[in-house]
Structure 1
Amino acid sequence: MDFGNVLTAMVTPFDDQNELDLNRTEALIEHLINNGTDSLVVGGTTGESPTLTKDEKLTLYKHVVKVVNGRIPVIAGTGSNNTKETIEFTQKVEETGVDAVLLVAPYYNKPNQEGLYQHFKAIAELTKLPAMLYNIPGRTSINMDVDTIVALSKVPNIVAVKESSQDLLAITDIIDQTDDDFKLYSGDDGFTLPIVSVGGDGIVSVSSHLYGNEMQDMIQSYRNGDVARAAQLHQQLLPKMKAFFKAPSPVPVKTALNQAGISVGSVRLPLVPLTSDEEQQLKADLQ
């Protein structure tokens, strides 16, 4: 399956009572499709997955599939640190019509590499959907080794990995040791160009909520051989990318979307909105 270059890790729009807002979700989807997004990743960390109920996720996924209507792939977050529960939930999510699932490395219970391998293999064998692994040691406290990811890439419907280890040497090894049809995406906006330059396939992005076209331009410039332009775009985008992570994500990107007139509401506890000083700083950083 071709997910494209720029996959947006979509925020979950809430109404003024912090409940799921499907109208705002529809408006956000149209904005993203019109501004450089090749695929949507829904119900991931940027979508505040820890504070969405399973029913809310199913409602959200069904609605996104309906609005997208086959125009771009929809990837749904279904992973957790409970293998049995992930299998059951992934099978329910199959019925919503999504195109693929995102499976985060199990957090908190800290399995070893064999445990990681068996966890993902068990899920992949019991779903029809293509699966993207998600390695994010900063949030899970475990790192998936190169050998583990390479072994998992041989499981038939594990088709990609979202890599947030920020270890460019390991990422290069994964790209080198996996088949060409296994995709590796950066999970960090600032690493988009470095990862593409060593053979990566693109980015699962937060910044693409507002800078999707610029990120497409950067990737295409590099692939077309205009390395200087790609580097220039990288330098221009980097301060904006950093601004989205000065407070816990997705607080800054939701704030920026609201500032830009794309209403997505606030965040749910335990996340809290930016202070007025932080809001002003964000506005300045993005200008």
Structure 2
Amino acid sequence: MEIVTQLITPFYMGDVDYDVLEFLVDRQARYKTDGVLVCGKWGEKSTLSDSEHIEVAKRAVKASRSRIKVYASAGSNDTAKSIKTTEKLLEADVDGISLTLPYYNKGKDREIVKATKKIKAIAKEKRVFLFCEERALNKESEDQIKECGVEIVRDDGAWRKCHYLDDRFILNALCVNGVLFSVFANVFPSSIIHIKKKWEEGEINRAVLAYFEIKEKIEMLISGDVPFLKYALSLWGLSSPFVRSPLIECDEDEKTQIRRFFD
């Protein structure tokens, strides 16, 4: 199984904090995760300008020093924009890109297949992940997308050969030797690495037990979205809790709830 951390985008005084970004990428490499995904949902992609988007990818590639893979989101409602973003990200030397389905103006299956194939043709040998909600595509369309080399990432826990969108499905990802796009690894990469290690050593029961020991923390972080995750990171001095509008920082009750889990 591969562990790819859905990395936050750190902010300070309204701007992207590129120094902290590089520190966070380096930290993931030192913990030996397999890669990071930047500018995704957990990276507040929708709040980034086009220039910030590309610069974040460039800085992440620089900080990785080829120790881990760097993937970046190129998803958009506009296929032409996704293509343009993909081209710029490839120039930044990312190892692959992610797309998301459905967006608000979700097209018909045949249109989605056509658009995805266009982007994969540009990406060539680079990996392309399609983040796909349950039942967003029919089986035939999904098969067509897979045939052109695009990898499907699921947001549900169905037991199938694919990749999974967050830590609640780590056992699924281990069973099918897929990719886990981890949120929890932003804060505690060692916990996710430990589960993977025990599983691969054949200590299945220990791996399952280790997952259930952190399950409530995982669910708590995911339930509060980016503000919860960033505040948790701030407790460990890893990043600031700042988010960009329309998100807002945690209120005092939420902060107390998070501290109760992590203190």
TM-score, shorter chain, exceeding 0.5: yes
| Distance (Å, rounded) in 2 between the aligned partners of 1:259 and 1:57 | 26
Give the CA RMSD over aligned residues. 1.7
What secondary structure sits across from 1:203 in the alignment? strand
Q: What TM-score results when the alignment is normalised by the length of structure 2?
A: 0.93
Aligned to 2:7: 10
2:120 equivalent to 1:168: no
Aligned to 2:174: 196
| Distance (Å, rounded) in 2 between the aligned partners of 1:108 and 1:201 | 28
2:140 equivalent to 1:147: yes
How far is 1:265 from its partner?
4.2
Deviations 1:236-274 (A, max 9, x none): 110110111232x21111111111111244100000011
The residue type paired with residue 204 of structure 1 is F
Q: What TM-score results when the alignment is normalised by the length of structure 1?
A: 0.86
| Distance (Å, rounded) in 2 between the aligned partners of 1:8 and 1:109 | 28
How far is 1:161 from its partner?
2.4
What secondary structure sits across from 1:41 in the alignment? strand
Pick from 253, 258, 261 the counterpart of residue 277 of structure 1: 253
Contact 2:165 / 2:181 at 8 angstroms: preserved in 1?
A: yes
2:48 equivalent to 1:52: yes
What secondary structure sits across from 1:152 in the alignment? helix
Contact 1:189 / 1:206 at 8 angstroms: preserved in 2?
A: yes
| Distance (Å, rounded) in 1 between the aligned partners of 2:187 and 2:60 | 19
Structure 2: tracts of 5 or more residues without a match: none
Aligned to 1:180: none
Mapping for residues 12-91 of structure 1, pairs under 5 Å: 12-15=9-12, 17-91=13-87
2:93 equivalent to 1:116: no
How far is 1:228 from its partner?
1.0
| Distance (Å, rounded) in 1 between the aligned partners of 2:250 and 2:57 | 28
How far is 1:134 from its partner?
1.0
Pick from 112, 128, 132 the counterpart of residue 129 of structure 2: 132
Deviations 1:50-95 (A, max 9, x none): 1111110111111111111211110011111211111111112111
| Distance (Å, rounded) in 1 between the aligned partners of 2:193 and 2:173 | 14
Percent of residue pairs identical? 25
The residue type paired with residue 130 of structure 2 is L
| Distance (Å, rounded) in 1 between the aligned partners of 2:41 and 2:146 | 23
| Distance (Å, rounded) in 2 between the aligned partners of 1:200 and 1:66 | 28
| Distance (Å, rounded) in 1 between the aligned partners of 2:119 and 2:93 | 18
Pick from 255, 259, 262 the counterpart of residue 231 of structure 2: 255
How far is 1:167 from its partner?
4.3
Aligned to 2:98: 102
| Distance (Å, rounded) in 2 between the aligned partners of 1:242 and 1:33 | 25
Contact 1:267 / 1:273 at 8 angstroms: preserved in 2?
A: yes
